[in-house]
Amino acid sequence: MSGFDVISGILQQRRDEFTELSDDIWRYAEVGLQEHKSAEAQADYLRRAGFAVEMGVADMPSAFVASYGSGEPVIAFLGEYDALPGTSQKTVPWQEPLEKDAPGHSCGHNLLGTASMAAAIAAAQAMDEEGVEGTVRYYGCPAEETLVGKVFMVKDGLMEDVDAALCWHPAPVNAVRLGSSSAMNSVKFRFYGRSSHAAGAPELGRSALDAVELMNVGVNYLREHVIEEARMHYVITDGGGEPNVVPPEAEVWYYVRAPERREVEEIYDRVVKIAEGAALMTETELEIEFLSGCYHKLTNRSIAGLIWKHMQEVGAPQFSSEEQEFARQLTDNLPPGQRERAIRKIAEEYEVDLSEDYLHDELLPPKEPEGRSGGGSTDVADVSWVTPTAECSTACAVLGAAGHSWQLTATTGMSIGHKGMLTAAEVLGRTGWELLTDEDALEAAKEEFAEATAEEPYRSPIPEGIDPPHDQLPTH
């Protein structure tokens, strides 16, 4: 029996256990840095599988590293398990939250972490049965949604000896990801003024809210004078108390994004100057809280090629008529035109016809992106700057559903998501096994990585003295 056969057998044998674990994490639905039950559930399973587990790494109680074996090579599987606020949903094709305003797994990280963990366990079992030396690691990474977990784990040196890293993400399609992602800074700007009666003595007050609003106006004017791909978005997290009191404190939370790290730093410096100007105009004091930052992603084409090979061997998840009907009903609850726009974008990129499809049951081949990638950010990017890294996606959502929506929460807690998860687990497990046993394949990945980073070595975007932002989100 080959190592590939062992991996397939383990995943088939334990599929019900992995599905149950994924559903447990789906029900916990814990937001970033508060995934205590989710992390412990995975850690406990890994201990029972023979892994040595170190909890609370990088000053994050819900972060951990699980290791199996010894020596080189060291192959890492990256997992996540944080949910998103306000996206609770039952596994029904119409909007009906499990709990009003509660978090939900609208990005499918319950599936993501479980599949990566399952792949690590299957690869470790194959090592034992085939007598192969090396180390398999599973990284339990919290707070991906707020770009915290892996960035601080990398900063803490937890991946310095990793030879290659593998990850995946739930999606509407089955594909190997070659594009990059946006680099990003996550920062809170807090202003301190002086309270006063807003009608009786407004001249005695210094409005912190005025400072926030002036800062936002300044940033909105800045948009005309930055690169087209840049993104600056914000929420006012504290705007004061009552209208008849001049707000003595106010706060705004910004994400600053751009296709490359150096561009984020340049734009961020200008945003800081605008904040300082707003404080000067309103005679308030400014406090800046840097929460996190991340790089843009480097996709290792050598590893991506291995993933694609194994995706073809494993095949795409296949869905039943009941699942297709569920997807059709869920699609009926999408905003008008959303499905058509989403499908058109995929169809144009890959030259495929998806107009009749509700669930994707084929494979989209790797495709080089045109121009620079941008849009969303991921802390997988920081891992990709310290070790060769690649990832894929499998179909766990209906075509046309938006990420971070209740429609995603519905499918990530049922058989549609389970099938995509188990497919990803086998693809990653087989790819990890090849990197463990094929020296030439691993060396090709390392050579590509060395060339890509030769002129721009990684420097953590987190300033010295900054700790993980444990109070970043309120406990639900």
Is residue 315 packed enough to be buried (19+ CB in 10 Å), middle (13-18) or exposed (0-12)?
Answer: middle
132 and 252 in a common domain: no
- The total number of structural domains in the chain stands at 2
Answer whether residue 163 is part of any domain: yes
For 256-291, write each residue's pLDDT tens digit: 999 999 999 999 999 999 999 999 999 999 999 999
346 and 322 in a common domain: yes
| Whole-prediction pTM | 0.95
Which among 276, 294, 312 is the end of a domain?
294
Which among 249, 274, 294 is the end of a domain?
294
Residues forming a β-bridge with 250: 191
305 and 268 in a common domain: no
- Taking alpha carbons only, the member of 393, 397, 362, 12 closest to residue 166 is 393
366 φ/ψ angles, rounded to the nearest 5 degrees: -55, 140
Q: Please measure the distance between the N-terminal and C-terminal CA atoms of the chain and give it in whole angstroms.
A: 49
- 74-80 and 164-171 beta bridge pairing: parallel
Answer whether residue 388 is part of any domain: yes
288 and 307 in a common domain: no
317 and 392 in a common domain: yes
374 backbone φψ class: left, alpha, beta (φ>0; ψ -120 to 50): beta
Answer whether residue 316 is part of any domain: yes
CATH of the domain at 114: 3.40.630.10
Answer whether residue 40 is part of any domain: yes
For 93-132, write each residue's pLDDT tens digit: 999 999 999 999 999 999 999 999 999 999 999 999 999 9
Answer whether residue 467 is part of any domain: no
**Three-class HEC string of 86-140:** CCCCCCCCCCCCCCCCCCECCCCHHHHHHHHHHHHHHHHHHHHHHCCCEEEEEEE
Question: Domain of 63?
Answer: 3-180+296-453
- Tell whether the model's pLDDT for residue 68 goes beyond 50: yes
Q: DSSP letters along 394-429, please?
A: EE-S-TTPPTTSHHHHHHHTSHHHHHHHHHHHHHHH
401 and 290 in a common domain: no
200 and 161 in a common domain: no
Give me the helix-helix angle, 36-48 and 109-130, nearest 10°: 10
187 and 160 in a common domain: no
Answer whether residue 276 is part of any domain: yes
145 and 81 in a common domain: yes
Instruction: Say how far apart CA 445 and CA 303 lie, in whole Å.
Output: 6
**Residue type at position 425:** A
Instruction: Say how far apart CA 256 and CA 126 lie, in whole Å.
Output: 43
- Tell whether the model's pLDDT for residue 401 goes beyond 50: yes
Answer whether residue 263 is part of any domain: yes
233 and 373 in a common domain: no
CATH of the domain at 209: 3.30.70.360
167 and 312 in a common domain: yes
Answer whether residue 462 is part of any domain: no
For 149-201, write each residue's pLDDT tens digit: 999 999 999 999 999 999 999 999 999 989 999 999 999 999 999 999 999 99
